[in-house]
Structure 1
């Protein structure tokens, strides 16, 4: 009976995704973890003797930029060896069938774009984006970087183009996401524990605006209780089943 209920739920969700006029997908670290990208949580969440959360702060960069760049260059090298997994590929296939789909990600690894998604908003920036600490210069760069990369325009220090703790989201990104979520008729949340704000509140915004909300996650989250549908398991197994045949 449980298996039959799950099959019925999967078919209903699949039909909702297929018929969505305006679809928003939110992804988190759980999707990229299946590609080998570390989540930096738990007892093994250490880099050298540092906690990554302590390094992802503007104060840490001001205090020791070489240390922070060493950490981010290590991350860039690690993530550069990772490949999109079946969850990424399924969401890219879903976008091809749903032109009004917006993919909002908390991940900074660029794997959704590598999988083929085009309409992507990166809430927390990107490992592959560089920003000048003085002028407005920024660029996408996947090459090996020197220990302290310099801005080609003004020769001041570049920084990783990611959002650190205590910083605002990129200009205009949150307002665009909130506007789109408020107009969506279906919102799919995949691979996120729904803890980090403001991403954790987006499903609430969608629900209040009348959207059907769907959760795909390895385990229940703080948002599971109010989601219309909750499917628990590996995103790389569930999402391809939801998208197949759409």
Structure 2
């Protein structure tokens, strides 16, 4: 049987669901205007993220890696949470058994005031900091300083933008309005060769530099967090809502399959469901389109109008 696109039938099931889990990916934040790292400025287009987001890269050139993550932090702070982030946060406040599992590291769920006890950041956060030393346990889960230290300031340049008002009838410019200055990434600035003394130092041990609190390629997800998710899922969920994730990354994708296998139902919200790696028979509902419009609408019975 093909999955349904009927919002009314989803609303009926949602209203009776006792345990709900949301699985979120990059599509949740797409409408906030957050670009991928290759949109982070021309200076990064010649770099392979696989060579930057690794423990080996950080050991080899921590200054380069920190400049990359400082750019990503800065970009994330230039956008705001969208209505889908706020809808999930509101559901977390109103539903006693709701858990969000997000693969996003952009900090937008935090800034949407999503209750921390009902969300798990599978891949960490750009705005978390950890000591890079093995013997120090320092962690700062929410550091939104921009820049963290002066040497990591993102290069910006002023750009003059002409603001033209439309003509009275045709919609064409009248050519007479003034210009204004705005800040843009300065792609002409070369990356600096930073020293260890230029990078943020752990305030606890005062010996090691801090590192971004994200999960790099080759690293394991946080075991305590994973155990907590397993414990939450011991009581089967009635509903899994997949939002903007391809189903190609595990263990995240496996949670939706588990809900389905244990008798629950699965819905997906995505711009293009067919482009992912999901099996065709996992979904009971498919809602294709912009998450910022669809998520508040399908959650309306529990969160009201937003």
TM-score (normalised: structure 1)? 0.90
Answer 1 or 2: which has greater helix percent: 1
User: How far did residue 59 of structure 1 move?
Assistant: 0.8
Structure 1 match to 2:148:
145
Taking a change above 3 Å as real, the CA distance of residues 163 and 81 of structure 1, as seen in their structure-2 partners, is: same
Provide, for residues 149-198 of structure 1, a one-character-per-residue CA deviation record: whole Å limited to 9, x for no partner. 10011121110000001100013112222332352111111011111111
Taking a change above 3 Å as real, the CA distance of residues 227 and 45 of structure 1, as seen in their structure-2 partners, is: farther
**Structure 1 stretches lacking a partner, 5+ long:** none
Q: Say which SS state the counterpart of residue 73 (structure 1) adopts.
A: helix
Taking a change above 3 Å as real, the CA distance of residues 197 and 71 of structure 1, as seen in their structure-2 partners, is: same
| 8 Å contact kept, 2:10–2:285 | yes
**Structure 2 stretches lacking a partner, 5+ long:** 153-198
Q: Say which SS state the counterpart of residue 221 (structure 2) adopts.
A: coil
Structure 2 match to 1:161:
213
Q: RMSD of the alignment, in Å?
A: 2.0
Whole-angstrom CA distance in 2 between matches of 1:81 and 1:28: 19
Aligned residues: 239
State which drifts further: 122-131 or 192-201. Answer: 192-201
> Greater Rg, structure 1 or structure 2?
2
Matches within 5 A, 1:189-228: 189-220=242-273, 221-223=276-278, 225=280, 226-228=282-284
Matches within 5 A, 1:1-246: 6=5, 9-40=6-37, 47-118=44-115, 119-134=118-133, 135-139=136-140, 140-143=142-145, 144-146=147-149, 147=152, 148-155=199-206, 156-182=208-234, 183-220=236-273, 221-223=276-278, 225=280, 226-246=282-302
User: How far did residue 46 of structure 1 move?
Assistant: 8.2
